[in-house]
Amino acid sequence: MTAAIDIQHLSLRRSLGWRKPEVNVLNDLCLRVPEGAVVGLVGRNGAGKTSLIRCLVGLELPSAGTSRLLGEDSRTLSADTLERLGYGPQSPELLGWLDGHAHLRKFATGYRRYDVERAHRIARQLDLPMHTAAAKLSLGDQQKLSVLLALAHDPNLLILDEPVASLDPLARREFMRALFAEHDDGERARTVLLSSHLLSDLSRVVSHVAFLHEGRVQLFGAWDELSEHLRAWPCPTQPEPGLAGLVHWSAALRQAVVDVRQWAGPTSELQAMDMDGLFEALNA
Ligand X SMILES: Nc1ncnc2c1ncn2[C@@H]1O[C@H](COP(=O)(O)OP(=O)(O)OP(=O)(O)O)[C@@H](O)[C@H]1O
Interface ranges with ligand X (CB under 6 A): 14, 16, 25, 43, 45-51, 197
CB of 162 to ligand X, least distance (A): 6
CB of 33 to ligand X, least distance (A): 17
- Nearer to ligand X (CB atom), residue 6 or residue 161: 161
CB contact set of 155 (below 8 Å; sequence gap of 6+): 83, 84, 85, 86, 190
CB contact set of 241 (below 8 Å; sequence gap of 6+): none
Contact in structure between 168 and 140 (CB atoms under 8 Å): yes
- Nearer to ligand X (CB atom), residue 20 or residue 112: 20
Sheet strands (E) in the chain: 3-15, 22-34, 38-42, 64-69, 72-73, 85-88, 157-160, 191-196, 208-213, 216-222, 230-234, 246-250, 255-259, 271-272
CB of 114 to ligand X, least distance (A): 29
- Residue 137 burial (CB < 10 Å; 0-12/13-18/19+)? buried
CB of 96 to ligand X, least distance (A): 23
CB of 156 to ligand X, least distance (A): 24
- Nearer to ligand X (CB atom), residue 44 or residue 183: 44
- Nearer to ligand X (CB atom), residue 47 or residue 210: 47
- Nearer to ligand X (CB atom), residue 17 or residue 266: 17
CB contact set of 218 (below 8 Å; sequence gap of 6+): 211, 212, 248, 282
CB of 59 to ligand X, least distance (A): 11
- Nearer to ligand X (CB atom), residue 197 or residue 229: 197
3 state SS of 65: strand
Alpha helices in the chain (DSSP H): 49-56, 79-83, 100-108, 116-125, 139-151, 169-183, 199-202, 223-229, 275-283
CB of 50 to ligand X, least distance (A): 3
Contact in structure between 101 and 130 (CB atoms under 8 Å): yes
CB of 242 to ligand X, least distance (A): 30
Nearest residue to 212 (alpha-carbon basis) of 46, 90, 78: 46
Most distant CA pair in the chain: distance in Å? 64
- Nearer to ligand X (CB atom), residue 33 or residue 128: 33
- Nearer to ligand X (CB atom), residue 16 or residue 244: 16
Contact in structure between 195 and 31 (CB atoms under 8 Å): no
